[in-house]
């Protein structure tokens, strides 16, 4: 999928892997209203494409994505700010609820809205040049694309309060230490390593991955006993897919499993994405 209508993002497909790259390098990939519109359109189209199993969100140059362009927000009225926040929420909810596994490949700076987009992805990996944070309070505003809700799920409420209220920018080592990212790679190898990691995810059972994602998301909104009940329901549903027999027989025969084609997210039996 390569669409010339997009000016702020680049979209490239490598089989079932789709890479969405912020492409405003001269402006540190700061987010404009047009960036949000293009990203929304791209994610809508991706969510309907059952050939895509992994989505990688990254940035061109030294930045993953900066905050929303200051020139576009300095004169906002309260109703306009509310609409902007809601659009950010829609985009992050699309990322969070997609069938494909969404990876934020944070190659450099990720501030404000850029950090919040990364928080909405399933997995965050980074280069050793990563710098990430929510510096909004230093500008007299607060996060508006979901950091006040998602960051505490990832690092805990105490650390989320600290990072958001201090506006501190943290480096790759600190981000890895607190669990904000799960893997860090040398900057010079980052593109190669993120490709390797995306392909590694493709080796596993696609419907089992989607069911596991759904169970993890359920833990965010359900009481523990309800979450366990949902896990049992989804575990049992996985045996209707045929994947357990394929995987177990391949393991017993000491070979790599060959998962059936056409198991994309739009065709999942009984699997609904919230």
**CATH class (in words) of the domain with range 9-202:** alpha beta
* Averaged pLDDT, 144-170: 97
What is the DSSP secondary structure assignment for residue 27, as one 8-state letter? Answer: G
pLDDT exceeds 70 at position 1: no
Q: Which of 38, 116, 231, 243 is catalytic?
A: 116
Q: CATH 3.90.226.10: which residues of the chain?
A: 9-202
Q: What's the CA gap between 69 and 253, in Å, rounded?
A: 55
Q: What's the CA gap between 161 and 51, in Å, rounded?
A: 39
Q: Which of 38, 136, 231, 268 is catalytic?
A: 136
Q: CATH 1.10.12.10: which residues of the chain?
A: 206-267
Report the pLDDT value the prediction gives residue 5, as an integer from 0 to 100.
77
- What is the tens place of the pLDDT at every residue in 94-148? 999 999 999 999 999 999 999 999 999 999 999 999 999 999 999 999 999 999 9
pLDDT exceeds 50 at position 20: yes
Three-point CA angle 216, 119, 135, nearest 5°: 150
Cα 227 vs. chain centroid, distance in angstroms?
22
Answer yes or no: are the C-beta atoms of 168 and 138 closer than 8 Å.
Answer: no
- What is the tens place of the pLDDT at every residue in 24-37? 999 999 999 999 99
CA-to-CA separations, 198 to 63, 116, 201, in angstroms, rounded = 20, 21, 5
Which CATH number among 3.40.50.720, 1.10.12.10, 3.40.225.10, 1.20.120.140 corresponds to the domain 206-267? Answer: 1.10.12.10
- What is the tens place of the pLDDT at every residue in 181-239? 999 999 999 999 999 999 999 999 999 999 999 999 999 899 999 999 999 999 999 99
Tokens of 203: 């080796």
pLDDT exceeds 70 at position 266: no
Q: Which residues contact 163 (CB under 8 A, 6 or more apart)?
A: 133, 134, 151, 155, 170
Report the pLDDT value the prediction gives residue 272, as an integer from 0 to 100.
41
Active site residue 136: yes
Active site residue 116: yes
- What is the tens place of the pLDDT at every residue in 238-255? 999 899 899 999 899 999
- 3-class DSSP assignment, residue 175: helix
């Amino acid at each position: 999928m390569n669409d010339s209508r997009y000016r702020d993002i680049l979209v490239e497909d490598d089989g079932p892997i789709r890479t969405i790259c912020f492409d405003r390098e001269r402006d540190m990939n700061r987010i404009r209203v047009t960036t949000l519109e293009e990203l929304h359109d791209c994610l809508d189209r991706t969510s309907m494409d059952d050939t895509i199993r992994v989505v990688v969100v990254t940035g061109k140059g030294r930045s993953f994505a900066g905050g929303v362009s200051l020139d576009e927000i300095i004169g906002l009225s309260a109703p306009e700010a509310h609409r902007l926040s809601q659009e950010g929420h829609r985009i992050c909810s699309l990322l969070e609820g997609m069938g494909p596994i969404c990876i934020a490949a944070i190659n450099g700076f990720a501030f404000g809205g850029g950090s919040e987009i990364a928080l909405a992805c399933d997995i965050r990996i980074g280069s050793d040049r990563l710098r990430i944070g929510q510096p909004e309070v230093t500008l007299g505003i607060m996060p508006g694309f979901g950091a006040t809700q998602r960051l505490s799920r990832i690092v805990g409420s105490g650390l989320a309060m600290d990072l958001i209220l201090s506006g501190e920018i943290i480096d790759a080592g600190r981000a890895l230490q607190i669990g904000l990212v799960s893997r860090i790679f040398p900057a010079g190898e980052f593109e190669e390593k993120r490709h390797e990691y995306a392909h590694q995810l493709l080796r596993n059972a696609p419907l089992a991955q989607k069911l596991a994602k759904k169970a993890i998301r359920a833990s965010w909104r359900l009481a523990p006993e309800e979450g366990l009940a949902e896990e049992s329901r989804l575990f049992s549903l996985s045996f209707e897919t045929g994947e357990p027999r394929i995987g177990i027989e391949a393991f017993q025969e000491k070979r790599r499993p060959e998962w059936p084609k056409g198991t994309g997210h739009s065709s999942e039996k009984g699997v609904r994405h919230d």
